Structure 1
């Protein structure tokens, strides 16, 4: 009896083995089939911090219009910038009605009506903007790109009007059901009472009437190794090989993907020749995929802002890095060429990353040293802008930091006035005044030469002092916003 049982069990095992062999040989569908995506990667060790889309979208600057031709400008990370933006993020915007850009005389509104203008540089698709602000609009509005939001109290009427400007420069959308009051606008405008006054310089540019306080920093950094990125980006790092080219850079490749390491191991360019999948490119979808990709492959170092590349470049996604100072807010970083730093750039084909460029440098949160510098204002800045060889291409003027490599794994971050051109490139317009010297009224880079104690001079000096005081809590406020 026992022998029969053993024989039956053995026969069953043999039959089961034959069935399994048949299934493996002929790959019958529906039985444990595993589908892998076009971009599978090993689970490498975590690197930088992860980020969300709502933290990567914020205004390039905020302009306050105080009536009677008076203006001031706040930049990211400044205390009053964060106060205003946080309050606007808590409001609701509904009932959008489209009008041509000429619906109002905007130059008249700018000089006459108290208001606040949030400017998003080259623009943000509404689908992404709605992750940072509470928006509810129709299909036409939701498919547009917005480059500024203007909220103002209509002169003599006591009503608040809110307009969203299309980046194409032809139309605006009025939110007739915006959750804002005249008291809100008056509070925003009140923040600018003792700040540095700014003047219009044409093409929606503003220049300060006097010098602007900034800081020069020396910052230590660490770097991720090329081997870490290799393990992170290649499905099977064991089959990759290394090639050195004539320029001295190294290339890792598995026969399909390539990882080029430049700048003494501090900059990478990754390529993956993915096959197109037949659908149209969506910039918003590409941004989401880019953020997900960066979260998994390198992470983020500090504050970054999404840069819209334009309607003809939906496949390109860019994020600019900012350097956050303890006292004076956050500056966009511009590399001192040929040094490469301060931007993450990706290219996607039908939602799949095919190119990825970034620095492997991670800055330390606390600077080794910081020194006060003054960015020239007044006629000096206006003259420099007027004489700039590409003046007709200038879209924006703002303070930034110029990043240069220094000794002992450190970067030197020097404050500068920078311009952004129509093609999206950034250039240094004017450096800070050397040695920490603050020019006096009437001196080059200083405010207007007026008698001491006059209203104009008092406003300029008070503005500069108040700007510094306000910014000294900017870093903490920026951390809270994020």
Structure 2
């Protein structure tokens, strides 16, 4: 083999090696995808995501006409009006001194279930100026009064102690006419009466109300998805099945209670506990539950009902939040925490989380009941020594949730309409003794 032949052979070999290397690079796929697939975990428990604007709703909208009071017959009408209010543009907000609630003959009172920081207004309403100054006090009532000359509305957010107010105008004659028609024509409204035994008046329907008692099948939540959502390293979480199932990673723990119907998660609390800003607590909580689609409300259009969760309590002292289940606009109560989602936050970290492990699925039918009138409720409370009138802070119609065992399915739940009273900070069903609601027939 002469020198030129050897050179050609070596060149051919080198070109072949180069082609093989190039082909190998083209076909090489790093193992990052597999690693990412291993790290991605399924934490979607089947609910939805919400915003602050959706989760914060008033518990009542009352129309005051001189010494008469009116409220919606159907809570869904109240929700629709409030959703419309959230689209109104608030102009020229000013902070002023106040001397309690306004005394206008015609006004609308919007009451929220707990005190809210003024900073939340930018999240649940629209301001014409994004740089509007908002004070650091809280409110739970908003009053709307009328300016006839300009057909404008004046909104007043009253501080908890009644000594300050934030005032803004809504310069929209259509919205003025909308509220004025409610006040003067009372369409979709019924008369309410005032319970004056509390620090601020409580307004309840004067007459009786017919509501449907219903039973529902349920959809249960996959516990493994909550393990993925709540533990930093789900792969090292161990499960103990002795007694109630318990999950732990040696730092945090999660327990299933009430035969798997309730979940309680606990994480260690840092020793340097600091009180968090209310808006931060709410933001972190909503984001956390959104991450695992934890808002397990259902809108069943075919059957004509819906369930949802709304904010009921925002406790600044403990950084604790409580969201309550609502059914067709009515609050749902259960003595074993099966109708609430609760969280507690410490130092920007989730400390406690408790929630039901089911959502309503489809109805099994029901029957219509006629509840006692508001007049009867007030007379009953005033003449019953069982109740401490000074400690009653709220009265309302809602639903009592009970779990029913079944031979054909694991269990189902029943929602039964009733009157409820908040006494000493705790909700309880009014006990009328032998008097029961009138059965109006099945549906």
Q: 1:410 aligns with which of 392, 409, 412?
A: 412
Q: Is the 8 A contact 1:274 1:349 kept in 2?
A: yes
Structure 1 residue 416, shift from structure 2 partner? 1.3
- The 5 A counterparts of 1:444-455 are none
Aligned partner of 1:221 in structure 2 is 218
TM-score between both structures, scaled by the size of structure 1: 0.71
In structure 2, the residue matched to 1:116 is 108
Select between 371-380 and 52-61 the one with higher mean Cα deviation. 371-380
CA-CA distance at 1:116 after TM superposition: 1.7
Distance 2:351 2:255 in 1: 14
Mapping of residues 12-411 of structure 1, within 5 Å: 43-47=41-45, 48-65=47-64, 67-74=65-72, 77-79=75-77, 81-102=78-99, 106=102, 108-109=103-104, 113-135=105-127, 141-153=134-146, 160-175=153-168, 177-181=169-173, 182-190=176-184, 192-193=186-187, 195-202=189-196, 203-244=200-241, 248-273=243-268, 275=270, 281-297=276-292, 299-302=294-297, 303-313=308-318, 315-324=319-328, 330-335=329-334, 337=335, 339-364=336-361, 366-386=362-382, 387=384, 389-408=387-406, 409-411=411-413
> For each residue in 1:19-50, what CA deviation from the matched residue of structure 2 results, as whole angstroms up to 9, or x when unmatched?
xxxxxxxxxxxxxxxxxxxxxx9622422222
CA positional deviation for 1:289: 1.0
Deviation per residue, 1:459-479 (Å, 9 max, x gap): xxxxxxxxxxxxxxxxxxxxx
- Give how far 1:402 is off: 0.5
Contact 1:42–1:236 (Cα < 8 Å) also in 2: no
- The residue that corresponds to 2:32 in the other structure is none
| Aligned structure 1 segments of 4 or more residues deviating by more than 4 angstroms | 136-140, 154-160, 276-280, 430-433
Shift in Å, 1:223 = 0.9
Query: What do residues 92-136 of structure 1 show as CA deviations (whole Å, max 9, x unaligned)?
Result: 2233333444266x4x53xxx222211112222222232221145
| Residue 20 (structure 1) aligns with | none
Deviates more, 1:229-238 or 1:131-140: 131-140
- Give secondary structure in 1 for the equivalent of 2:124: coil
Count of residue pairs the alignment pairs up: 384
Q: Deviations over 1:276-304 (max 9, x none)?
A: 78865111111111111112235111111
Q: TM-score, normalised by structure 2?
A: 0.77
Q: What CA distance in whole angstroms lies between the structure 2 residues aligned with 1:321 and 1:293?
A: 18
Backbone CA RMSD of aligned residues? 3.2
- Determine the C-alpha separation between the residues in 1 that align with 2:353 and 2:139: 26
- Structure 2 distance, partners of 1:281, 1:180, is 38
Question: Hey, what's the Cα distance between the residues in 1 that align with 2:187 and 2:143?
Answer: 19
Any conservation in 2 of the 1:42–1:231 contact (CA below 8 Å)? Answer: no
Structure 2 residue ranges without an equivalent (≥5): 1-6, 15-38, 298-307
**In proportion to residue count, which structure has more strand?**
2
1:141 Cα offset (Å): 3.2
Q: Could you tell me which runs of 5 or more consecutive residues in structure 1 were left unpaired when the two chains were aligned.
A: 7-40, 325-329, 439-482
Q: Which has the higher helix share?
A: 1
Find the aligned partners of 2:344 and 2:289 in 1 and give their Cα distance: 12
Query: Kindly tell me: are residues 86 and 101 of structure 1, through their superposed partners in 2, closer, same or farther at Cα, counting changes over 3 Å?
Result: same
After superposition, the Cα gap between the structure-2 partners of 1:280 and 1:255, relative to the gap in structure 1 and judged at 3 Å, is same
CA contact (8 A) 1:121 1:396 kept: no
Deviation digits for residues 382-430 of structure 1, max 9, x if unmatched?
A: 112323623212222211111000123211111111123463x322225
